[in-house]
Chains A and B, each alone.
Chain A
Amino acid sequence: MVRTGEASPVELTEFFLDRLEKLGSKYNAVVTVTRERALESAAKAEKEIENGLYKGFLHGIPFGVKDLLATSGGIPTTWGAAPLKNQVFDYDATVIKKLEEAGAILCAKLAMIELAGGMGYRQPNASFTGPCRNPWNVETWSGGSSSGSGAAVAAGLVPFALGSETWGSILSPANNCGVAGLRPTYGLVSRFGAMPLSWTLDKIGPLCLTADDCGIILEHIAGPDPADPSTSRSFKYEAPNFEREFKLAFFKGVLEGVEEDVSKNFHKALEDLEEVATIEEVEPPEMPYEAIARTIINVESASAFEEFIDSGKASELTAPEDRYPYARMAIPATEYLRALRLRGIACKAVGRLIAPYDAVVAPTSRRAATPIDTEFRSLSPSARDIMGAVGNLAGLPAISIPNGFTRRGLPTGMQFMGSPFSENSIIAVAKVYQSLTDWHERHPQVS
């Protein structure tokens, strides 16, 4: 519609800016509405399209980003943290540059858990903008740490948003808010201009209404960037291949500790998928995946935030448990290197196990959105997150899509995780599932 002139980029942008301004505070989902920059970009896009210079799917389309991506022009980049609420940069993150070059229009910096949850938060109220509320039920949490990105897409405040994941931060809000969220392979998307939490685990990816949209956005943000030495290759989004059955696997024990409604919806989804796929159980090699990932995150975040921590600024953070991130400062270098050595072994073992499959399927989370005022870690303190630990430790891509609702009317999610750089495969499976079901077409009542 934008291409044919039926929809005006300026009108579209004004529509979403108004929604962000009117509804953003209802969910604590927005940090800064970038009205001036957005209207300037929209006017430019409109003129280009009128002159026949249509750049593609994203030309004239508004978007929002998690507020850990640097923006120039005096727009604050707060990292969700009270002591950094006036922080500004004089450059734009590579992913923002890429989207703007494709003609997309930055409309908002979206709320997030302070320092992307790197200080060990245990509750939704861990952001200077307040606990981010879930559009499906404002008394529940949107998930984190890309909280505002999930809530804003679900509530229709932006057509799509960028989030980031070190461990769970894209998939968790996708699960809670009933939207699609894609965690790319480590090194596919430039991290330049993003807050560093853990250099070898941080990934940036899209949250959208459908798996198909995630593929389109990923194509535009992926690619080598001299400013990020971890980036190595481009990504071309290709339509799903329907010529053969998909081959799926699920990890033994993945349903341990999973809520009844989540389990029920997952089993139903597997039945639906049996129309287009074979599904087998596999057992990941026994390794301390969580311990390795936690050690790497602890040490890399200790280094990234050493100055912040030593300055005492952590004491100004919102969640009391985030104010004392001192234990990680004492981890010996030999333990970090042990974690990196074990990581190599784990990556090979998991890589070999999942290579024959298009994707490993699992519930995205053990549960649907939790109450806004509850410490979520206290609900199942000893539960393991094998998919999150393996996937993030080994740098594997995953996509979460909605697969039903609980009896309380909250969305549940299902994830497809694949081999490195197999984004087209996992998106294809998710897209086919979405062609068989209509969960992604249901949206919360927003007033």
Chain B
Amino acid sequence: MNSKEKIAQDLLELTLKKYGVRLDTQGHEEVKKGVEAIAEAIVAMRNLKLKYSDEPSTTFKPFEKED
């Protein structure tokens, strides 16, 4: 099993554990499509090497006073 399939399977198991009881046949199909798309994105992102200095593009601002 390749990495993408393994990621999709893990995500599917996790999703079904919490939401499985709510799903009909179409629901199962939609969730399966969803985890496959997410797994594909994860694999595409993991193909790029990050450095320790690559911080998330988001800014935390300590509160000083009301603007």
Q: Report whether chain A binds chain B.
A: yes
Q: Which of A63-71, A101-109, A320-328, A402-410 contacts B (4 or more CB under 8 A)?
A: A320-328
Would you call A345 and B54 a contact (CB within 8 A)? yes
A 324-356 binary contact with B (CB < 8 Å = 1; else 0): 111111110001011111111101000000000
Q: Which residues of B contact A342 (CB under 8 A)?
A: 45, 48, 50, 54
Q: Which residues of A contact B27 (CB under 8 A)?
A: 323-324, 326
B44: CB under 8 A from chain A? yes
Would you call A229 and B61 a contact (CB within 8 A)? yes
Q: Which residues of B contact A341 (CB under 8 A)?
A: 50, 54-57
Q: Which of A16-24, A30-38, A285-293 contacts B (4 or more CB under 8 A)?
A: A285-293
Would you call A329 and B50 a contact (CB within 8 A)? no
CB contact under 8 A between A120 and B34, given known A323-B27, A327-B15, A329-B19: yes
CB contact under 8 A between A330 and B58, given known A292-B45, A321-B30, A338-B46: no
A226: CB under 8 A from chain B? yes
Would you call B35 and A330 a contact (CB within 8 A)? yes
B 35-63 binary contact with A (CB < 8 Å = 1; else 0): 10110111011111010001111100100
Would you call B23 and A200 a contact (CB within 8 A)? no
CB distance from A395 to the nearest CB of B (A): 10
Count chain B CB atoms within 10 A of each CB in A312, A335, A341 and give the residue with the most: A341
B contact residues, total (Cβ < 8 Å): 34
Would you call A330 and B42 a contact (CB within 8 A)? no
Would you call A298 and B38 a contact (CB within 8 A)? yes
Would you call A331 and B45 a contact (CB within 8 A)? no
Would you call A344 and B47 a contact (CB within 8 A)? no
Would you call B15 and A315 a contact (CB within 8 A)? no
Q: Which residues of A contact B (CB under 8 A)?
A: 120, 200, 226, 229, 287-288, 290-292, 294-295, 298, 312, 315, 320-321, 323-331, 335, 337-345, 347
29 CB contacts below 8 A, A to B, read A120-B34, A226-B66, A288-B45, A288-B47, A291-B44, A292-B45, A298-B38, A312-B22, A321-B30, A323-B27, A323-B30, A324-B23, A324-B26, A324-B27, A324-B30, A324-B34, A325-B34, A326-B22, A326-B23, A326-B34, A327-B15, A327-B31, A327-B35, A327-B37, A328-B34, A328-B38, A331-B38, A340-B58, A344-B57
